[in-house]
Amino acid sequence: MLREKIKKEYLKKIEDYKKHSKLYYEKSRPIISDAKFDILKKDIIELENKFNFLKSKDSPNKIVGSRPSKLFEKYQHKVPMLSLSNAFDAEDLKNFEKKIFNYLNKKIKIEYSVEPKIDGVSASLTYKNKKLFIGVSRGDGKEGEIITDNLKTIKDIPLQIKNSNFPEEIEIRGEIFIKKKDFEKIKDNFANPRNAASGSLRQKNPNETKKIPLNFIAYTFGYLKNNKFNYQTEFLKELSKWGFRTNPDNKVISTIDELIKFHNKFESIRYSLDYDLDGLVYKINDLRLQDRLGFTSNAPRWAIAHKFSADHANTKIINIEIQVGRTGALTPVAKVNSVNIGGVIVSNATLHNEDEINRKDIRIGDVVKIERAGDVIPHVIEVDKSKRDKTSKKFKFPTKCPSCGSATIKEFNSTTKKYDAVRRCTNEGFDCEKIAIERIKHFISKEALNIEGFGKKVVENFWNLNLIKKPQDIFALKYDKIINLDGWGKTSVNNLKNSIENSKKVSLQKFIFSIGIRHIGIENAKLISEYIKDISNFIKLIKTKKFDKFLNIDGIGETQIKSLKNYFSEHSNINIVTELSSILSIENHKINENGILKGKSFTITGKLNGISRAEAKSLIEKNSGKTLSSVNKNLDFLLVGEKPTRRKVDLAKEFGVKIISLDQLKNLLN
């Protein structure tokens, strides 16, 4: 019962904190002293650190994070602020280069701009006519908050630039951070320096921001009118001439071996530096090459973050629970005695899958070494078998789904000729409770319908109350019931109503992604939406089940088609799509209508010189052309490289399809 008492005391403090935050931040009319307010925050954080069952979305720890604030006006970034892919070892770096070579279709010598990855929060500064025009937080990468006045208090940020070569309009990006020694003075109020920087940046009153000494180091540009720079390092030099602080440890390195040497050296001195850093960023120095490589859906192909090695700790496994994911995957999770790993309290560690448990012979009661690296979920590295109890037994992985009791399978992969390491529940519909809940969480997630204020916890809560059982139920919520629930009120219900209403307008690509078909991620959903163009075509298709047509799409293969067939073999999934299509307003796929290749279709065969298939495809599509994977009589062009498929060339000749080389395509595009 002690637990209940602690919880009650904690929730009372949270309520107080909510009330005083509102008075302090929103109304700027505090009724208690700053010191008392700080003590309240500190008390809550101390309680959370001591008892890991205490959690609240209103905790000062959470609010300081990146929750979009209602206090600031929103701003759509002209160029999205994406994140970076991570590398942890030489293997990852080699893979990174390999992907680049594949994309470019040739091996080249790469020069990197190497920059310390400061663990702060990024900010974007737009200058117009040499004056700071607007300052914005990263937000969700697409939309940030306007925090110009707060940013203006930071001494590293120039308000006006004198140099004559400063661009007419430029958006400069960099990291806001707090120095370690400054954090020492305020550490009781924040979980780490990063949280302190982010909290300070988002104060309503710029005078509050001023109190915490923030720093800014510039490292890149977003939008830049008439870019005249050729190299990242050239841009960094110029930044410093213009009066921005850049990192004195930036460097140019050309080989993976040298990158690793520098990484090792830097890792050993990281603790002596005055700021927190979690790795190094490697960016291809040549900006034109960066342009060619472009981006995947959330990270550039031309840069990578090489993280420092993770922290470890030993602890004991108390239990192994099996989680069921959206696609039916059964993931074993070790519940462990809580340990502090690098400042974060860890009480769960993933065991990945059945094979991993067998390979490492992981058992309940074992003492294990756990690793935590960046934002990656902590995992078990090894078992200390010398500490194993003699009576311990091998862990028996369930063969029935723990959520719905259905049979589980390990699929056979016809390419690798091996059975999957992951065991899955075979239920494709909404009869498996855990899968159903995860599918709804996916439906409302950021990349899908992005319903603000409708988080994972809300899904679980509404599910338990029988308010939602399928995605379409979200649009028929009984708000009169919700308003009386704990934690809900008139304003929050109204906000929820609005965000649900706003989410109804959705692109075809996002819609296809949102219904959660295995193997149909954002990129594949895009390929499908480009191909079928409009939702009515999609519905026709799922009713007739003629998914083999998609083999025409370059990028979609047997795996995706099999998965689509499986998914739509379940009638409830067809119903979901048809019902949602009448509730939502699904925008047809928009294409650049006016490009020079409008109405023209292309098939690519053979190895193109100096450009990959993906790049050629994106070049054609950028100019309004279409790419197909096979030759038919309506095809306009067959783009031919080295060693083409003979059959495609013969068919093209037979149908009178024009056969062109890459140079001819380039001529066509000027």
What string of DSSP letters covers 192-224?
SHHHHHHHHHT-SSHHHHHHS-EEEEEEEEEEE
- Tell me how far, at minimum, the Cβ of 107 lies from ligand IVH, in Å: 24
Tokens of 553: 């799409």
DSSP 428-443: -SS-SHHHHHHHHHHH
Catalytic residue flag (residue 142): no
Minimum CB–partner distance for residue 309 and ligand IVH (Å): 17
Alpha-carbon distance of 429 to 551, in angstroms, equals: 25
Q: Which of 13, 117, 130, 441 is catalytic?
A: 117
Q: Count the Cβ atoms, other than its own, within 10 Å of residue 519.
A: 16
E strand residue ranges, 276-324 = 277-284, 303-307, 311-324
Min CB(144)–ligand IVH separation in Å = 11
Least spacing, CB of residue 219 vs ligand IVH, in Å: 4
Residues 6+ apart with CB under 8 A from 488: 482
Residue 453: φ, ψ to 5°: 80, 0
Amino acid, res. 560: Q
Compute the distance between CA of residue 315 and CA of residue 365 in angstroms, rounded to an integer: 10
Among residues 273 and 669, whose Cβ is nearest to ligand IVH?
Answer: 273
Whether the CB-CB separation of 165 and 153 falls below 8 Å is answered with: no
Closest by CA position to 99, among listed 293, 254, 269: 293
| Residue of 561, 550, 657 lying closest to 605 (CA atoms) | 657
Q: Which is nearer to ligand IVH, 290 or 563 (CB)?
A: 290
Under 8 Å between Cβ of 68 and 198: no
Q: Which CB, 281 or 576, lies closer to ligand IVH?
A: 281
Instruction: Give the interface with ligand IVH as residue ranges (CB under 6 A).
Output: 82-84, 115, 117-118, 122, 175, 219-220, 281, 300, 303, 305
Task: Dig out the tokens for 630 from the structure.
Answer: 């096979």
Least distance (Å) between residue 102 CB and ligand IVH: 20
Helix-, strand-, coil-residue percentages of the chain, each rounded to 5: 40, 25, 40
Q: Minimum Å distance from CB 184 to ligand IVH?
A: 22
The residues, ordered by sequence, that sit 6+ positions from 457 with a Cβ below 8 Å of its Cβ are 57
Tell the smallest beta-carbon distance from residue 308 to ligand IVH (Å).
13
* Catalytic machinery residues: 117
